[in-house]
Structure 1
Amino acid sequence: MGGIRVLATGITLLILGFIAIGAYQTHSVTDPLVMTGGSVALGVGVLLTLLGFLSSVFQEFSPKTGIHRGDTAIFSHTLIRCMIAITVADNELEDEEVKAVASVFKRVTGSPVGEKIIRETAGEMMESGVDIISELKNTQSSLDKSSKEKIIIASLYILAADGIMDEGEEMFLEDIRDGLKVPMGRFNKIKKDFLASRNLTKRG
């Protein structure tokens, strides 16, 4: 039973307990069993209310293990790890790259991200050798169309930071598209519009 349901049950028993005890004390009911039942309901209600409250607090602040379509948390997580994976492809992380990731993240999500988080995440990814494409394949079913397109656009910002996209960067972007299962037609349009808006060129 979830924390909210336990809390609701506890409050219900509290109310019933108070009603039963009140009825007995005002002599509306004279059966002693009503007083006994009311006392038991009151005691159990207090216990369940406390447990329900603690459970709700725990669920609110504990790490979320479930992933649901459109979940903003998994989108933000995937977005930043994808951008970082691009920047550390050479197993290095420069200050300008950290600033670029933070800037693009805010541009795409509207929310800031600390440079410390970026550096710590990058360090963990470089140390463990995380395969970002496999991560994308595992999470893509939980991302909606808009989230996937935002990740593609953010990747373009990072890959084309120097104003030119080379063949290796094109291949990396294609792998990201494949991992996210973005249709080729839609992917090509996103890329074409982005390159045109930024006056970027492709380097063979």
Structure 2
Amino acid sequence: MTLIFPLEAVTAEIAGSDARFPVRRIFCVGRNYAEHAREMGGAPEREPPFFFTKPADAIVGGLADIAMPARTANLHHEIELVVALGTGGCDLSEDAAIEAIFGYAVGNDLTRRDLQAEAKAAARPWDMAKGFDQSAVLSPIRRVADIGHPFTARIWLSVNGTARQDGDISDMIWPVPAIIAELSTYVELKAGDLIYTGTPAGVGQVVAGDLVEGGIDGVGSIANRFI
């Protein structure tokens, strides 16, 4: 087969390795922390999680400069734990879900909040609010073999040195194994899939010139300048 034009593979950095993680798909969980659900006008009941996606090539490194996206006057940060899958499957049990995890990273699910609000009001999809260029910040992935499973750890984000988000990943409404198991009932998960697991309260606006720093204890950190 002859390709009309070559496609560049999307890969992510693996901490402590020259190897790269091939990114297949990006799934994101909405409203997975109670206080964030409240600040977004929702209720924090433990209903089944809902998912949305970003294109794989939305990935941008955790130390990169990020261009302010077009068509928004209200870009928001959302610090998140990211799960990288090394295997997959359908209808996974929570035990099988744990075994599918290759590693973890720190992410920032950037959101054009004004476009999201317009889409919600019109009962339209969120794609252009969530899936734009450089909207999926990702730190180097740390392997489970190196750090284990961080089911409790501080998660935080600051803008120009001022704290915005500060919580613990143990506060997730749906923990990581349950997220993976539930998602696997909708689609067949495979190696290379990334899952952004939701953000704690304190999301807010980012403007040109801001330095956004964040991290998860034992997992990693990010520091992006918006230009």
TM-score bracket for the superposition, by shorter chain length? under 0.3
Bigger proportion of residues as strand: 2
Bigger proportion of residues as helix: 1
Larger Rg: 1
